Amino acid sequence: MSASDSRNSRTVEAENEQVRRVTRLGAVSYLNTKPLVYGLESNADFAVRFDVPSQCAELLEAGATDLGLIPSYEYAHHDNYRIIPHVAIASRGAVDSVAMFTTRPISEIRSIALDTSSRTSANLLRLLCAVWFHIEPEFTVVSPHLRAMLHEHDAALLIGDPALFADPIATGLQKVDLGQTWQEMTGLPFVWAFWAGRQDAADASVSRALRAARDAGLANVNEIARREAPGDAERQELIVRYLTETIVYDLDGPFERGLRTYYKLLAEQNLLNGAVDLRFFGD
């Protein structure tokens, strides 16, 4: 090999290494994700795409992304996944953006339409119906359009921004917050989603970068609110409260216990096959 060929080979190897180091992130397209990806879209070390939670899980499984902000239920089905430590989308009580809307008292609910967007919330509702509400409704997975869902069913599960901004009083509905109900049942926070991927998808530097993005996002919530609701001061105020008071971006201590309890209760109700082990990337 000539000196020129050797230099070209090293150049190609260096370019390939640079490509390899770009971590492909699959993020959720909801408001509560914005602090977690703050600054990452302009970070050359990351490539970010946005989808609904269920699609994030499917893309990660297909290898189209390296790390996905996946619903916690999805992690339970992948023994080869690891979790980015210390970072999650969680709540200590009412979450506001995951709720069952109903036209009748809970004890009289016979059918529930489930939002197709997240299996975590759907299975949490199944769990709550079995062990807390003590009802056995029929569940049907449908597209998340509240009026159409309630036309055919007694209640409807909505998640994300549609649930957050829905006005149950204006529509004459009861809103049952699943985060609040979980806290009442267990006394623990609930973990809705976290970054996860195959065991070789991230090293400690990636974990640190994702924590730094989270910290920067929380330090710039007012900017996020202005960007999400330009010219609407009332909506901006709601967004700031939601991102700073309602959502908690933590996976330590009681949040990890809440996650483990969710998996344990799902297994007890045969909504999961066996115990789930929490495996983390280095930090």
CA distances from 282 to 39, 47, 71, 129 (A): 22, 21, 21, 37
Overall average pLDDT of the 43-57 stretch:
91
Q: Model confidence over 258-267: pLDDT tens digits?
A: 999 999 999 9
| CB contact at 8 A, 26 and 65 | yes
Q: Model confidence over 136-155: pLDDT tens digits?
A: 999 999 988 898 999 999 99
Q: List all residues 6 or more positions away from 127 whose beta carbon is below 8 Å from its beta carbon.
A: 262, 265, 266, 269, 271
Domain over 98-186 is classified CATH 2.60.40.290: no
Residue 171 has pLDDT above 80, yes or no: no
CATH number, domain 3-90+190-268, options 3.40.630.10, 3.40.190.10, 3.30.360.10, 2.60.40.2550 = 3.40.190.10
Residues 191, 259: Cα–Cα separation, whole Å: 6
What's this model's pTM, rounded to 2 decimal places? Answer: 0.88
**Crossing angle between the packed helical segments 254-268 and 119-128, to the nearest 10 degrees:** 70
CA dihedral 76, 77, 82, 86 (to 10 degrees): -30
Residue intervals of the chain classified under CATH 3.40.190.10 are 3-90+190-268, 98-186
Q: List all residues 6 or more positions away from 219 whose beta carbon is below 8 Å from its beta carbon.
A: none
